[in-house]
Amino acid sequence: MTPPSEKDPQPADPQAHTDNSDTPDASPTGTDSDHHDHPHHVHFSPLWWRGGIPLIVGVIIYVIPAPDGVDPNGMHMLGIFVATILGLILQPLPTGSVAIIGVALAMVTKTMSPKEALAGFSNTTIWLIVASFFIAEAFIVTGLGRRVALIFVRAIGKSSLGLAYGMGLADLILAPATPSNTARAGGVIYPIVRSLAELVDSTPTTDASRRKLGAYLMLTALQVNVVTSAMFLTAMAGNPLAQEAAEKMRIEITWGNWALAAIVPGLVSLVATPWVMSKIYAPTLKKTPEAPALARDELKKSGSMTRNEWILAATFVLLLVLWCLGKQLNVDATTTAFAGIAILLVTGVLTWKDLVTDTGAWQTLIFFGVLVAMADELRKLKVIDWVGDKVASSVDGLPWIVAFAILTLVYFYVHYLFASNTAQIVAMYAVFLGAAVATGAPPLFSALVFGFIGSLFGGLAHYSSGPAGVMYGSGYIKTSEWFRVGFLMSVVNIIIWTAIGAPWMKLIGIW
């Protein structure tokens, strides 16, 4: 993948991102190539290789004879699946278009029957994600998310470090009920960060201006977002897909045990991230005495909490309680989410138009529905078992701790090849989890760790996740800076989640 030019990107409208889930479309490495050369010359558009590479790779895999133990149709399915994933990475067309083309090929070639190809759209996990997008929309349309962020800025925003912590706390509070981490970053955090930066004349126009405050806050907000996304099952759209994949291997992940396992390393990461960022990517402006006053003024303009905000806050608390106690109350997570939406619709907090126009939710339904159906078919055809055996054999004979460390590091840094957290989770989570368990690693421990990584690698590069696309599109951060800081922060997170997370999970009996 060819990175974009080193030239700073132009500031983007954050609202353009808030409709996206954590899908490749949120990446600024998009495929806008509308310019035309002289009509008498043939122009080799990037779309050719972006579409050609997935097609060629897919055909090569498609014609390979099925290995022993794999259904004869297995390599056909694998070829189409890999081609679809590569299409999502290279993006010759938008995410939804690539997914529909992939499922159409599966049906036309008789690799999947229409019933099998469309089975993903009846998947309750996917509908949980879609429902949660609608709940996230409520935080934006009511203004409650913005209010929460401003309250923290008012309280601890007298320095650049305090502002970063304020944004982090706001993100943490919103995370459990906001699976669109792009909506959290773009719809709530970004506008406030941008306003705070411009208040002190920190704009993307020059290096001196952007590094004054804006660049630090933008990149820190992203690194905080990847941590909050890892802390809750419902904080990032791909997490429930990891839960479902683990369940198919008879490993039970619940909202409660995910949150309990992640809470200690997550909080340590949240405390460490703004401070570490202030050392490796320091703003030139350390004090921001005007920020609390700005937040106070904005809150005054907003007035007291509205009826809709109070209803949303109460519904949010109810959702958290039911998600935590769902097993004891025999209420599954999808039922809980839809009950929350019903309350918001009946009370008028959300309207049907809000739901219909939330393109991110419907794109997620198409994208996940197709990929989950394909991945399930690969499992049925024994392809996942075969790939897992190959991966496991590569670390065969090593102590499980050593093998597990190798597998997790590979899983983490292979994300440089992906423009979406969820695309990698669908493509690789089950394979790496199966390989880890085969080496003797504790099943629940392994499932949770790979689940956490599925969010933590979202800050590696400017194209690694939807929130990364939002912050990069602001124009404050250069590509080279992103790669350097993204890698350093990945090391920090790996150290924290290993040195603190592993002992904590041992203490609470996860392994």
Average pLDDT, integer, range 464-474? 82
CA atoms within 13 A of residue 480's CA, in its CB half-sphere:
3
Query: Which are the contacts of 429, defined by CB distance < 8 A and separation ≥ 6?
Result: 241, 242, 245, 450, 451, 454
* pLDDT tens column, 329-372: 888 878 888 999 999 999 999 999 999 998 878 887 887 788 88
Beta-strand ranges (E) seen in 138-289 are none
Q: What angle do CA 192, 178, 375 make, to 5 degrees?
A: 130
The pLDDT of residue 317 is above 90 = no
Adjacent-strand bridge partners of 287: 159
Task: Show the tokens assigned to 396.
Answer: 């065969």
Confidence (pLDDT) at 130: 82
Amino acid at 50: R
Q: Mean pLDDT, the chain, as a whole number? A: 84
Distance (Å, whole) CA 150 – CA 166? 8
51 or 489, greater pLDDT: 489
Residue 155 Cα distances to 149, 158, 159, 162, 291, angstroms:
10, 8, 11, 9, 10
Cα 500 to its chain centre, rounded Å, is: 23
Please give the pLDDT value at position 303.
92
Tell me the torsion sign for CA atoms 359, 361, 366, 368: positive
Confidence of residue 43 (pLDDT cuts 50, 70, 90): very low
Mean pLDDT value of segment 491-509: 96
- Per-residue pLDDT, averaged over 427-453, amounts to 93
pLDDT tens per residue across span 371-420:
888 888 887 888 877 877 788 788 888 999 999 999 999 999 988 877 67
Amino acid at 394: S
